Amino acid sequence: MDTIRIMLLVLTVMTIPLRLDALQEDDLGKVTYDRWCSECHGVDGSGNGSAAGFMLPRPRNFTLAQYQIRTTASGDLPTDQNMLDAINNGAPGTAMPAWDDLLSEPEKQALVQYLKTFSRFFPDDEVPQSLDFGGSTRTSEEVVAEGRRQYEAIECWKCHGDQGRGDGESSPTLVDDTGFPAAAADLTENWFFNGGDDVEDIYRAIRTGLDGTPMPNFSDVLDAGVITEEELWAVAHYVRSLSPEEVPGISEVVQARLIEDLDVPRSVADEIWNETEGVYIPLVGQIIVQPRWFNPRVDGVWVKAFHNGEDISVMVRWSDPNNSPDQAWSDWKSQVVTTMEPKEGGDTGIGASPDQLVVQFPMQMPEGMERPYFLKGDSRRPVYLWEWKSDRQTALEGEARGVGTESFQAEGQDLSVEGVHKDGQWQVVFTRPLLTEDENDLDFITGEAIPMSFFAWDGDNGESGNQGALSSWYFLMLEEATPTAVYVAPPLAMLLAGALGLLMVRNAQKREKENI
Ligand code: HEC
Ligand code: HEC
């Protein structure tokens, strides 16, 4: 054998495993993608997987190479690290899951490379360049105040609203680049930001925009000298200050504090509400019975309560950009309805729907662990309801023995209500005597963990009937005059709640099966 041939042989042997490796990486990307991503993003990456029609925002169309989470300039491609971060963290507040713990490092790396193959925009040779953001400045009251001034000056409020709840004057008209309605983010809920919740993430979103959505980038105003880098960091600190310092933990129990010798607060404006922070209760779209709802506007409510031994007041507040029905939002509504409805055959979106809130309790205090079915009870374990609607200033008490059996008493109401809409937020205060004559109305007894859950609808987001948002069971606990019992009960109630969460899921699954 001559040397040339020997060298060729050696070379071939050396390159075979290399090529195998390369093949394996391609395969790994495709196999992982087809298995975990294609149902939403489509086998061809076009964003049209079989589940895509059920969600807003829609799964990303990778053929357009438009990425929200970028450290690169608006209009530029993301870095590999940006794509990896998006895969790891998901997009909170959308259907895009966080794959952090679910996939291995090689799988995720392979996915990044595979996603690029869907688009001809990714060149082989160029590496996208990250912008220089400088470092985060320190925050302080002055910095936040400066941020607020700039928030006004560069008109973030036009979309996000004066208090940041996504209710600016442009908000009903916003659509993404593919024509779907795009809600301006609620800046008071940083745990739902697509690109992360801390001040660096916020600054990145402001500097580079969220490509493909109406959220612009503000690098241009910086380059034009309209605003300094420090001032733009101040805006990020201001936005960060609109959300709680910590993501609200899941607390299963709403404490109704005892205020002896005082009337309970019946008005939203009562100062006593400021004395307690309230409990955050997450809501999700109703997807158990037809017609389902995959695009709920209300993603959580804050709940506070007081009682004085005679009466109880419960205040529920939540972000909602407008008081429905509202002419300014009628286009938004019909767009959402035509985008979401055809598959589910819900209401046609014709006619005006108000915003609504229903608070649900068991009709009788359950013995032991059993609670009514959380979706409006059943014949064995009925529920007792408080209903409020934005188009009437009264609340109704009612009952239900299953979905669709709700009935509300027009007469003999013990319940009063005040609902106020301001700056993209509803605040609704219900007041009722603890005990009533009506045997179908739950009596509120101190020291007991009273199951309580919530349903909310945004009428101008196309929500009514079964198509709205709901929570699982939580507990309302009226503080007793004797502190020891109160001390023991909440941890117990929390244990119960944990067990109940499981029970609820199992019940729902059982019912699903029975319905098939
Ligand atoms: C249940 C549906 C669903 C699944 C499964 C899913 N995605 Fe997504 N994905 C979405 C949605 C919806 C968006 C759009 C979010 C938005 O626009 O805010 C998205 C957006 C993305 C983005 C864009 C991030 C950015 O910066 O703009 C990437 C990248 C992505 N997905 C990758 C993946 C990968 C990789 C997988 C599989 C491991 C996957 N997705 C699985 C629903 C899904
Ligand atoms: C033209 C309307 C518009 C303007 C002006 C605007 N935004 Fe946005 N912004 C949006 C929309 C829409 C979204 C949600 C995009 C999505 O996820 O679909 C958003 C999202 C955000 C987010 C969430 C980022 C994330 O990771 O999800 C932040 C923070 C934000 N904007 C801050 C600002 C600030 C600060 C300003 C002013 C400097 C501003 N926005 C100006 C429309 C706007």
Chain segment 233-284, per-residue pLDDT in tens: 999 999 999 999 998 887 899 999 999 989 999 999 999 999 988 999 999 9
The CATH code of the domain that includes 291 is 2.60.40.1190
- Measured CA to CA, the distance from residue 55 to residue 132 in angstroms comes to 35
Residue to probe by mutation, ligand 1, list 41, 46, 175, most atoms within 8 Å of CB: 41
Q: Where are the alpha helices (DSSP H) in 368-408?
A: none
pLDDT at 8: 42
Q: Where are the alpha helices (DSSP H) in 137-280?
A: 141-153, 157-160, 199-208, 219-223, 229-241
Q: pTM for the whole thing? A: 0.88
Say if ligand 1 is within 6 A of residue 210 CB: no
CA-nearest residue, atom 20 of ligand 1: 60
Question: Residue 261 has which token pair?
Answer: 């010798």
Q: How far is the CA of 193 from the centre of ligand 1 (A)?
A: 14
Residue 402 has pLDDT above 80, yes or no: yes
Q: How far is the CA of 160 from the centre of ligand 2 (A)?
A: 7
CA-nearest residue, atom 23 of ligand 2: 193
Question: Residue 155 has which token pair?
Answer: 């008109």
397 within a domain of the structure (yes/no): yes
SS3 429: strand
- Measured CA to CA, the distance from residue 171 to residue 163 in angstroms comes to 13
- Measured CA to CA, the distance from residue 67 to residue 73 in angstroms comes to 11
Residue 72 has pLDDT above 70, yes or no: yes
Residue to probe by mutation, ligand 2, list 215, 218, 243, most atoms within 8 Å of CB: 215
- Same domain for 225 and 257, yes or no, is no
- Same domain for 150 and 231, yes or no, is yes
- Same domain for 303 and 279, yes or no, is yes
Residue 261 one-letter amino acid: D
pLDDT at 7: 43
| Residue-averaged pLDDT of the chain | 88
- Same domain for 336 and 415, yes or no, is yes
79 within a domain of the structure (yes/no): yes
pLDDT at 495: 53
State which H helix or E strand residue 420 sits in.
Answer: strand 416-422
| Residue carrying structure tokens 């169309």 | 61
444 within a domain of the structure (yes/no): yes
- Same domain for 279 and 366, yes or no, is yes
248 within a domain of the structure (yes/no): no
317 within a domain of the structure (yes/no): yes
Q: How far is the CA of 444 from the centre of ligand 1 (A)?
A: 45
- Same domain for 178 and 264, yes or no, is no
Q: Tell me the pLDDT tens digit for each residue of 470-509.
A: 999 999 999 998 655 545 455 555 555 555 554 454 445 5
130 within a domain of the structure (yes/no): no
Q: Tell me the pLDDT tens digit for each residue of 96-140.
A: 999 999 999 999 999 999 999 999 999 878 889 999 998 888 999
5 within a domain of the structure (yes/no): no
CA-nearest residue, atom 21 of ligand 1: 60
- Same domain for 324 and 193, yes or no, is no
- Same domain for 237 and 258, yes or no, is no
What percentage of the chain has pLDDT greater than the value 70?
A: 86
The CATH code of the domain that includes 193 is 1.10.760.10
241, 275, 305 - which closes a domain: 241
20-24, 320-324, 351-355: the lowest-pLDDT one = 20-24
76 within a domain of the structure (yes/no): yes
pLDDT at 410: 76
pLDDT at 484: 53
Q: How far is the CA of 57 from the centre of ligand 1 (A)?
A: 10
Structural domain boundaries, residue 42: 14-116
pLDDT at 346: 53
241, 268, 292 - which closes a domain: 241
- Same domain for 76 and 162, yes or no, is no
- Same domain for 80 and 203, yes or no, is no
Torsions phi, psi for 30 (to 5 deg) = -65, -45
Q: 377: which residues sit within 8 A by CB, 6+ positions away? A: 362, 363, 383, 400, 401, 402
As a whole number, mean pLDDT of residues 455-481 equals: 95
- Same domain for 345 and 289, yes or no, is yes
Residue 10 has pLDDT above 50, yes or no: no
pLDDT at 277: 86
173, 206, 241 - which closes a domain: 241
Structural domains counted in the chain: 3
pLDDT at 5: 46
- Same domain for 330 and 475, yes or no, is yes
2: confidence class by pLDDT, cuts 50, 70, 90: very low
Residue 52 CA: nearest ligand 1 atom is 2
Say if ligand 1 is within 6 A of residue 87 CB: yes
Say if ligand 1 is within 6 A of residue 57 CB: yes
Q: How far is the CA of 107 from the centre of ligand 2 (A)?
A: 31
